[in-house]
Amino acid sequence: MTDKAFPVGIATGAGSWPGADARESAVVVVGELPHLPHLVELPDRGLGADMIGRAAALLVDLPLDTSTTGYRVAQRPGPATRRARDLLARDLDALEEAWEVAGRRGTDQPVKVQAVGPLTLASQVELVGGHRALTDPGALRDLAESLAEGVRAHVAEVERRLGSPVLVQFDEPGLRAVLDGSLTGVSILQTPRALPEPEALAVLQSAIEAVAAPVLVHCCAATPPLDLLRRSGAAVIGLDLGVLRAADLDGVGELFEDGLSLALGMVPSAAPERVPGWRDLARPAVTLVDRLGFPHTVLAERVLVTPACGLAGAGAQWSRQALRSASEVARAFAEGAEFGTAS
C-alpha cells in the first residue's frame, strides 16, 4: 500500500461512532481495523460534533454558526466553529495517541478521514437570509472551494501527526435530494431547484481534484446517482448494499468496468436480533457480482467491506461487533472462500 491508492480487499468503517469518548473510540477503531482505521465522528457530543459541525472545523475563511434551524454562514467564527475546532483537535490528539501505542507511526499504514461532501454541505448550510447555500451558485462554489482547501490542510496535519498516508472520504448522503430538488425551502414558494447533474458533477469533481489525495465518495442513500459518481474522479464509491435495486445493477457494473473499486456496506448499522455470520453478511455481495457476471475474485481485488452507514446510533457493543464482522467478511473474500453461484 502506498499513498497513491486506496487499499482493497479489507474492512473499514463508514465514519460516525457512538458515545462521546474520543480516546476510547480511537483505541477501538485502531484495534479492530488493522488495515484502514479512520478518524471517527462522535455526534453524541452535540453542537460541532455532527457531520456539518465537523465541516465548520475544516472550512477556510468561511465560518459557520447556528441559527434556529441549523448551521449558517457567519461573518466571524462563533461558538459553533470554535467548539467544532476544539472537538476536532481532541479527536486528533486521541488518534495520535492510539496510533503511537499501536506502533504505527512512520509506517505505510494508511488512515482514513471523513468530511461531508460539498453538495450535501451546501444543501444543509444556510446563508444569512435563511436560504440554503445550494440556491446561490456563487455561495455553492465558495463553500466547495473552502471545504476542499480545509480538507487538504486537514490531510496534511494528520499525515504530520501520524507519519502515515491519509485517505479521504467525502460523505454525500444528500446527493440524491440535491439532484431531485426534494429539499425544502424557507417557504413553499422558495423550494430549492433541482441542481442539474452537470453542475453537481463539476462541483464534486473540483473538490476531489483539489484535495490531492485518494478519495472515496460515500452515498448510502437509496437510488444513488451511479453515473455521476462514476465520473466524479473518486477512486472508490461507497454504497449501502442493502438499498441497491435491480435498476442499479447496470450502474454498478459500469463502476467495475471503469476500473473503480467499491466500498460496500454489508454489515447492519443497527444491532440485529442475532449476530449474523460472515457467510450471511457476504451473500448479498456474492449475489451481486454473480448477477453482474464478474468472478468472485473481484470481491478481494476491488471491494472494501464496511458497515451500511455510520454507527453513531448503534451502541458500543454492536459498533465493535460490526467492525469485527466486516473484517471477517473481508478476510473470507481475501482467502477465496467458497460461496457457490447464486441462482
pLDDT at 1 > cutoff 50: no
3-state secondary structure of 157: helix
Q: How confident is the model at residue 342 (pLDDT cuts 50, 70, 90)?
A: low
* pLDDT at site 217: 98
What integer pLDDT is reported at residue 69 of this predicted model?
83
Give the pLDDT band of residue 189 (cuts 50, 70, 90): very low
End-to-end Cα separation, the chain, in angstroms: 36
DSSP-derived secondary structure for 67-80: -SSSEEE-SS--HH
pLDDT of residue 184: 79
pLDDT digits (tens, 9 = 90+) for 193-212: 899 999 999 999 999 999 98
Name 111's bridge partners. Answer: 166
In a 3-state reduction of DSSP, which class is residue 197? helix
CA angle in degrees (0–180, nearest 5) for 168-152-110: 40
In the predicted model, what is the mean pLDDT of the chain?
93
CB 308 within 8 A of CB 262: no
Question: What is the rounded CA–CA span in Å between residue 110 and residue 61?
Answer: 29
Helix (H, G, I), strand (E, B) or coil at 87: helix
pLDDT in tens, 110-157: 999 999 999 999 999 999 888 899 999 999 999 999 999 999 999 999
99 SS3 class: helix
pLDDT of residue 5: 76
- pLDDT(281) > 80: yes
Q: What is the pLDDT of residue 130?
A: 85
Place of cell 429539499: 183
The pTM (predicted TM-score) of the whole model is 0.95
Look at residue 191 in the predicted model and tell me its pLDDT: 74
pLDDT at position 6 is: 85
Q: What does the pLDDT look like over 60-86, one tens digit per residue?
A: 999 999 988 889 999 999 999 999 999
In percent, the amount of the chain with pLDDT more than 90 equals 86
The dotted CATH code for 22-334 is 3.20.20.210
State the pLDDT at residue 67.
Answer: 86
Beta pairing class for 261-267 and 303-307: parallel
Residues 6+ apart with CB under 8 A from 272: none
Is 2 a residue whose pLDDT tops 60? no
Average pLDDT over residues 224-235: 97
* Every domain of the chain and the residues it spans: 22-334
Which DSSP letter does residue 114 get?
E
Is residue 66 classed as helix, strand or coil in its secondary structure? Answer: strand
Does residue 187 surpass a pLDDT of 70?
A: no
